[in-house]
């Protein structure tokens, strides 16, 4: 037990609990997380509860989705606090495997999500989406959940997982959940704890710029001009650097040069050693 939340650490134990629910006619929702939970994660659990009588959250800081120079070792970890937060929103079970349970001796298979992982964050985080696709595939097959919930905050990740679930005939329904934000507009993220007060003051400019870019494109401005202006705004806003600002087809995340179908604007910026991502819908007039 962890707090008042039942906790399992092996695939066998996880399956025993989820199988018992399903045999009793109760559908199960899975919420995969890396811990350091905030209201964004809890919104996923709440949506899971609205869709299914049972919810299991997983907590696993997945080493294979971090690059060699990324923050795997300093990523915030506090399982007891996370368990208490999950129990508080009615989560039924925590699945917290260790690395050896997830990747036993001899583990060798990788799920390659193909072109959807090649743009936006792809070139900046080589191997990241293969790491995500592999661990999420494992979590879906380990739990055999009926539904799995993912945040729109990580929009490319959400679309990668939709693609993988469809392509590999994984039966879980994949549900996206809108991004939970601070009143400043800054998307909640476990990595926001790294920000200094000065960096926190700059951070909301990311979402502000995405909104302004979406507004202009929806009002009929050209995608290329609005993107160039948005990029310049980000570059002047006080970020340490800007990885990209991209307007993409909302489903495939391929290039979108005219707003003739639903789009998504995605961006990644740095504040010191902290990388922030965000995105927004851009919708053609009907
Ligand atoms: P993480 O623990 O950062 O890997 O995130 C676990 C899940 O929570 C992912 O599906 C994220 O997209 C989702 N998530 C993270 N931040 C937010 C947020 N601010 N709003 C909604 N979902 C979020």
Q: What value does the mean pLDDT take over residues 191-199?
A: 96
In this predicted structure, the answer to whether residue 227 has a pLDDT above a threshold of 90 is yes
CB-based contact 233:204 (threshold 8 Å)? no
In this predicted structure, the answer to whether residue 80 has a pLDDT above a threshold of 60 is yes
- DSSP annotation of 73 reads T
Residue from 56, 151, 181, 185 to probe ligand 1 pocket by mutation (most atoms less than 8 Å from CB): 151
Report which ligand 1 atom has the smallest distance to the Cα of 150. 10
For residue 286, what pLDDT is reported? 80
Q: What value does the mean pLDDT take over residues 63-70?
A: 94
In this predicted structure, the answer to whether residue 234 has a pLDDT above a threshold of 80 is yes
Please return the burial class of 164, using the count of CB atoms within 10 Å of its CB with bins 0-12, 13-18 and 19+.
Answer: buried
CA distances from 22 to 16, 57, 78, 145, 175 (A): 10, 16, 30, 9, 19
Instruction: State if residue 179 touches ligand 1 by the CB under 6 angstroms criterion.
Output: yes
Helices (runs of H) and strands (runs of E) counted in the chain: 9, 9
Report which ligand 1 atom has the smallest distance to the Cα of 188. 19
Dihedral of the alpha carbons of 96, 100, 101, 102, in degrees to the nearest 10: 80
For residue 3, what pLDDT is reported? 52
Q: How does pLDDT run across 120-146, given as a tens digit for each residue?
A: 999 999 999 999 999 999 999 999 999
Cα 50 to averaged position of ligand 1 atoms, centre (Å): 18
CB-based contact 53:91 (threshold 8 Å)? no
Dihedral of the alpha carbons of 82, 84, 87, 88, in degrees to the nearest 10: -110
Q: What stretch of H or E contains 170?
A: none
Q: What value does the mean pLDDT take over residues 183-209?
A: 97
Q: What value does the mean pLDDT take over residues 12-20?
A: 98
Q: Residue with the nearest Cα to atom 5 of ligand 1?
A: 33
Within its chain, how far is the Cα of 24 from the centroid? Answer: 31
Q: Residue with the nearest Cα to atom 8 of ligand 1?
A: 41
Cα 188 to averaged position of ligand 1 atoms, centre (Å): 8
In the chain, the percentage of residues whose pLDDT exceeds 90 is 98
Please give the model's pTM, rounded to 2 decimal places: 0.97
Residue from 37, 71, 154 to probe ligand 1 pocket by mutation (most atoms less than 8 Å from CB): 154
Cα 82 to averaged position of ligand 1 atoms, centre (Å): 14
Instruction: State if residue 136 touches ligand 1 by the CB under 6 angstroms criterion.
Output: no
Q: 4 pLDDT band (50/70/90 cuts)?
A: confident
Q: Residue with the nearest Cα to atom 22 of ligand 1?
A: 151
Report which ligand 1 atom has the smallest distance to the Cα of 36. 2
Q: Which residues are catalytic?
A: 41
3-state SS string for 80-136: HHHHHHHHHCCCCEEECCCHHHHCCCCCCCCCCCHHHHCCCCHHHCCCHHHHHHHHH
Q: Residue with the nearest Cα to atom 18 of ligand 1?
A: 40
Report which ligand 1 atom has the smallest distance to the Cα of 34. 2
Cα 45 to averaged position of ligand 1 atoms, centre (Å): 11
Q: 2 pLDDT band (50/70/90 cuts)?
A: very low
In this predicted structure, the answer to whether residue 1 has a pLDDT above a threshold of 60 is no
Which residues are bridge partners to 31 per DSSP? 57
Dihedral of the alpha carbons of 211, 230, 155, 238, in degrees to the nearest 10: -100
Q: What value does the mean pLDDT take over residues 100-124?
A: 98
């Amino acid at each position: 037990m962890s707090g008042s939340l039942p906790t399992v650490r092996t695939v066998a134990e996880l399956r025993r609990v989820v199988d018992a629910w399903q045999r009793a006619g109760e559908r199960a929702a899975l919420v995969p997380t890396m811990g350091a939970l905030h209201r964004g994660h809890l919104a996923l659990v709440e949506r899971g509860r609205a869709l299914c009588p049972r919810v299991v959250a997983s907590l696993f800081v997945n080493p294979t989705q971090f690059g060699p120079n990324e923050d795997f070792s300093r990523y915030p970890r506090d399982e007891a606090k996370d368990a208490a937060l999950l129990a508080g929103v009615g989560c039924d079970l925590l699945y917290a495997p260790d690395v050896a349970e997830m990747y036993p001796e001899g583990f060798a298979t990788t799920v390659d999500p193909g072109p959807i992982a090649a743009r936006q964050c792809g070139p900046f985080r080589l191997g990241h989406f293969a790491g995500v696709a592999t661990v999420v595939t494992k979590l879906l097959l380990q739990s055999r959940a009926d539904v799995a919930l993912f945040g729109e905050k990580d929009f490319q990740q959400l679309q990668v997982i939709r693609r993988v679930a469809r392509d590999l005939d994984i039966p879980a329904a994949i549900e996206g959940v809108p991004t939970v934000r601070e009143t400043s507009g800054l998307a909640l993220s476990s990595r926001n704890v790294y920000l200094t007060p000065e960096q926190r003051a700059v951070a909301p400019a990311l979402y502000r710029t995405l909104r302004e870019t979406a507004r202009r494109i929806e009002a009929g401005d050209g995608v290329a001009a609005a993107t160039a202006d948005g990029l310049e705004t980000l570059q002047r806003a006080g970020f340490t650097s800007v990885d990209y600002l991209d307007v993409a087809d909302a489903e495939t995340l391929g290039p979108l040069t005219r707003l003739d179908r639903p789009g998504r604007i995605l961006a990644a910026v740095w504040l010191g050693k902290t990388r922030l991502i965000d995105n927004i819908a851009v919708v053609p007039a009907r």
